[in-house]
Amino acid sequence: MAIYAIGDIQGCFHELKQLLETIRFKPDCDRLWLTGDLVNRGPHSLQTLEFLYALRDNLVTVLGNHDLHLLATAYDHKKPGKKDTLHELLASPRSHTLLDWLRRQPLFHHDEALNISMVHAGLHPDWSIEQTATLAREVENILRSDRHIDYYRHMYGDKPLRWSEDLSGWQRCRFITNMLTRIRYFDPDGNAVLQAKGAPEPDSRLLPWFDVPQRASRQQPILFGHWSTLTLVERDYPNVFPLDTGCLWGGRLTALRIDERPYTATAIPCRAAQKPGNMI
């Protein structure tokens, strides 16, 4: 059995199929881990979700910000944004089944046997793996309950910018969500910076979440997506593996085999489904 972790798909269904053919994925015995953002902005969100739903017994996925946006759009009857490509999925007679499955997926995944964790965006520097899993479950339990529609109504927004154990209610849920599905940078004062999207620059005052000194999770290998301006091959990141290699923008779709050491990556070139200026 092989286990492959794949970066953000975002509705690029044909590239996903091509990558699985390239790595000779065997659905009867191999397993997939996905870093979230399964849908949106790419052309084939419905086909992607249908395909992954059929593989659900051999699949682990965490939720990304675009997946949560899909759920909010569907369940809270929001009008899709101008850049969204969710119309076919929302209109499908299968949408209820697919969305009900999606909202029951985790925000964070840790595998004891493999000693590796997976998240869509990142971890707060103060959070250990154990604390992250506990906090993620707080939000997951709401998503899997009758309160999930109330959650979508309070999900959007950047604040609060700092973590405190005293946070409660929807502010606490929003902060946890933003860390796991949106974070890239922190400023020197420890505030989350949620609007910066570019690659790290040597003279920047902003620190990538994984470069914050004394990060509590620094000894744990972590797979993540969300940050397409990082690449797996340009530098060695300490115990972190960025897997969003920009398929949506004409980059690559990458699979990392994680059941063997050293991890090995396979990538295929992708056609651009969006212009980089629209990057979210």
Specify the CATH class of 3-278 in words. Answer: alpha beta
Question: Counting beta carbons within 10 angstroms of the beta carbon of residue 219, is it exposed (0 to 12), middle (13 to 18) or buried (19 or more)?
Answer: exposed
Q: Would you state the pLDDT for residue 235?
A: 54
Q: Is residue 192 within 8 Å of residue 121, measured between CB atoms?
A: no
Q: 169-181 vs 148-155: helix axis angle to the nearest 10?
A: 70
Residue recorded with tokens 């964070």: 108
Question: Counting beta carbons within 10 angstroms of the beta carbon of residue 12, is it exposed (0 to 12), middle (13 to 18) or buried (19 or more)?
Answer: buried
Mention every residue, 6+ apart, whose C-beta is less than 8 A from residue 244. 7, 8, 35, 37, 224, 225, 226, 227, 228, 230
Q: Count Cβ neighbours within 10 Å for each residue of 54-92 and write b for 16 or more, e otherwise.
A: ebeebebbbbbbbbbbbbbbbbeeeebeeebbbeebbeb
Q: What is the mean pLDDT of residues 186-191?
A: 96
pLDDT band at 272 (very low <50, low <70, confident <90, very high): confident
Q: Would you state the pLDDT for residue 279?
A: 43
Residue recorded with tokens 């397409």: 228
Window from 22-36, 142-156, 235-249 with minimum mean pLDDT: 235-249
Flag whether pLDDT at 8 surpasses 90: yes
Q: Count Cβ neighbours within 10 Å for each residue of 138-160 and write b for 16 or more, e otherwise.
A: ebbebbeeeebeebbeebeeeee
Q: Would you state the pLDDT for residue 85?
A: 95
Q: Would you state the pLDDT for residue 123?
A: 98
The CA–CA distances, whole Å, from 177 to 31, 86, 112, 212, 259 equal: 26, 21, 23, 19, 28
Flag whether pLDDT at 233 surpasses 90: no
Name the residue among 65, 120, 87, 84 with its Cα closest to residue 273.
84
Flag whether pLDDT at 256 surpasses 80: yes
* pTM, 2 dp: 0.95
Domain spans, the chain: 3-278
| Vertex 160 angle, CA 276 and 243, to 5° | 35
**pLDDT, tens digit, 9 for 90 and up, residues 79-130:** 888 899 999 999 999 999 999 999 999 999 999 999 999 999 999 999 999 9
